[in-house]
Structure 1
Amino acid sequence: MDNEKNLRGQAILTINAGSSSIKFSVFLLPQLNQILVGQIDDIGGDARFTVRWHSDNNQVSLNWPNATPPKNHREALSELINWLHRTANEIEIIAVGHRVVHGGQKYSAPVIVTEKVMKDLEALVILAPLHEPHNLAGIRAAQESFGAIPQIACFDTAFHRTHSFVEDCYAIPRYFYDQGVCRYGFHGLSYEYIAEQLMTKFPGESGGKVIIAHLGNGASMTALKGGVSIASTMGFSSLDGLPMGTRCGEIDPGVLLYMMQREGLSANEISEILYKESGLKGLSGGLSNDMRTLEASALPEAKEAIDYYVREVKREIGALTALMAGLDVIVFTGGIGSNSVMIRERVLSEMSWIGIDLDRESNRNGGTIISSKASRVLCLRINTDEERVIARHAFELTKKMCGV
C-alpha cells in the first residue's frame, strides 16, 4: 500500500454520484492505469468511506477527520479531495469524468461541462428524477473543489443515439416525441466498454449480430450490428424492459391506471412502488433485491422471482434476435451477468433453436467463452468497466482542450 501512495504524475478522477453514494476511481496517465477505487456510502446518514489501492486486495474503511460524516454530496466530495491531497499528494488530478445518466436527444457524446451544458442537463431532471439530480450535484461539488479543472460529462444514453425512429418512438400522439418522450436506452457506458472489448479480443465476431446483457441491480440488454446499438430493452426511463433489483421492468400501463383509479395512489406513491418496491424485491415478497440472497433461499417466492427474471431475459433474447434477423454473439456482463453461474445457465438452456449450446464446465469455472465448440452462437462472459470508459473520454477531451 505504501508503494501505491508514493505514485506520482497526472491522473484522471472519475465520479459516479448516486442518490446517497459517490463511487470514484483514479487513473494514472498516460496509460490510464487504475491506481485506486473507493466509495462513500449513506451520504446524509451514517456515511462510510472505503478505499482500495489497485494492487492491494484489502479494502480499507477510513474515519472522517472531524468525526462528523458529510451531510451532502458537496461535503462528501470535499472530504474525498482532501483525503486524496493528503494520501496521494504526488498525484495531480487534471480532469474529472462524471457518469451522467441522461443526455437527452441532444448529447450523443461526452462533453466538457459548461454553464450552458449544466442548464441543458438540469432541464432533463424531469426525465430521470431519481438519478440526474445526484449526477449534477456531483459535478457542482467537483467544480467547487477543483476550480478550473475540466469536468467531463459522460452519458449513459449516448451510446443508443444511433437508433432509428421506429426504435425510438412510442405509438402515442407524435407531439410527445417532439417533447422528448422516446426510447433512450441506458447503461451505454457499459455497452461501449463491452463493444470495445469485443473489437479487441473477438474482431471477427464483433461486427456481427450481438446481444449484450448487462444484468445487475439495474438490468438491460442491447442489440448491436456492426458494433452499433440498434435496439435496447430500456426505454423512456430506467424502469422499462427487464425486471431489476427493485424496479419493475416492462409493465402494462393499465396497471398504473388501476393504481391511480382503484387504489387512489398519487404519482409519487406509484413512483415509489415501481422504482423501489418492485422487481426481484417485490416478486420475492420483500425478501431481497440481491440475486445472491434469492439463489441461496429455499422460499418459493425467491424461486418464483428468479423464474420470472430468467423468463424475461430469454424473451428479450428472442425479441432482439428477431430484430437483427439472427444472432452471432451474446455477452453477459454486470454484477449478475458476470457472477451468477445459475442465471447464465438457466438463460442459455433450451436455446438450441437459436444456435446456442452452453459449455457448462466453462460456465461454472467463470470462463470468458462459455459456449461449446458445437454452438453456432458465441457466448461470452466479460466484466464491464464503465469507469475506464469515463476516464478515457475525460483524458481525450482534456487533451483537445488543453493540449495535455
Structure 2
Amino acid sequence: MEEFYQTRRLPPYVFEQVNRLKAKARAAGADIIDLGMGNPDLPTPKHIVDKLTETVQNPRTHRYSASKGIPGLRRAQAAYYERRFGVKLNPETQVVATLGSKEGFANMAQAISAPGDVVLVPNPSYPIHAFGFLMAGAVLRSIPSEPGPEVFHALERALIHSVPKPIAMILCYPANPTAYVADIEFYRDVVAFAKKHDIFVLSDLAYSEIYFGSTPPPSVLQVPGAIDVAVEFTSLSKTFSMPGWRMGFAVGNERLIAALARVKSYLDYGAFTPIQVAASAALNGPDDCIVAARETYRKRRDILVESFGRAGWDVPAPEASMFAWAPIPEKFRHLGSLEFSKLLIEHADVAVAPGLGFGEYGDTHVRIALVENEQRIRQAARSLRRFLETADEKLHNVIPIGASG
C-alpha cells in the first residue's frame, strides 16, 4: 500500500527497531535495563502534584483552557527568565505555553516554513529539530553539533550553496544527544551571523538546569539584540521531572511567537488548566527540587562513567544534560550504532539509543540516558563486562553491515 505524502518524507524511525527488540526480550522474561529513552524516572515534586490535585477539584478548571497559556503561567515563565538569565520578556507578546518543547518546535516549523525553504539543523540532533521542518515541506541542510568554528564554516557554505537562502538555524545546548554545551561567546557570534544574513535562530534549551560544572548554561536571549531574531524553547519535563505533563514554552521574538500562537489557536486549546496552574507553581516555587535532581543525575553520571570504564567501555563524562554520548567500542564500530544497540539488548540485557536515530553523523556513537538508579547502572556495567569479555565469540556470529554473505 502506498504511503501518504507526509509520512513518505519521513525516514524509518530507527528507535522503533530497538523498541521492538526490547519488547520481545522482555516478553521472553529478560530483565532489560533501559538506558535508551530519555524518560526521567524521578517523581514530580510534591508541591507541584499537590497544586494539581487542589486545582482539579474546581469544576471551572475542567473547561477549555487557553491555547497560548493562562496569563499566570506566562507571567511565571517570564519571571523565571528574568531570575535565571536576566532576560526581560513581555508575557503577553513574547511567551507562549506549548505542549512540551517537541510540539512547540513542530508547530513553529508549520508556522514559518514554506515548501522548499532551507533550514540549518545540527547533525546529530534531537529528531524533531529536523523532522518538524521536514513535515512542513522544508529542505534540511546539516551543520555540526559541536559549538565552535566549524559551525560557522558550515553556515558560510550554506549561504553560498543554498537556493533559496536559509530561513532559520536550529541550536540545542546543552545538546541532545551529544551533551555539548555552548558559552555566551558562541551565542554572540551566532546572533551576529543571524542578524547579518536575516536568518531566524530557534534554540532548544530543554536541559538548561541539568549541568555539572559551576557555570549554568546560558540562554541565547542573553545576547543583546537576540530578541530581534531568536526564539527559545524550554520544557518542565526534565527541570521538574514532569515529562508526562507535556508542559513547555516558546519565548522571544514577537513576530515568531505571534505566528506560533496563531497556528496553535487552530490546533489546540492548550494544556489542561490544572496542569498549567501546577506548572506556574513549579516555576514560582522553591528550586531545591531542581538542585536535588541535578545532584541525582551527577551521581548517576559519575557511576556510569566509572563502572562502564572498568567494564571496558570508556564513556566521556558529559558536562550537562541527562545523557552520555558514547563512542561505540572499537571492535564493534564497523557494525554501526543500530546493530551494536541490538547486540547489547540480545547479549547484555541493556538498551541504549543508536546514534543513527539522531542523524547520519551520529552512527559512530550511542546515547546513554541516566534514567535508571545507581544500582541498576552498576548492574548494567556488570552485564556489559561479561558481554565485552566474550565479544569475539559474539562478533563471529554477526555479519558486518555491507558485507556479503
Which category describes the TM-score, using the shorter chain as reference length?
Answer: under 0.3
Higher strand share: 1
- Name the structure where helix makes up a greater proportion of residues: 2
Give the TM-score normalised by the residue count of structure 2. Answer: 0.25
TM-score by length of 1: 0.25
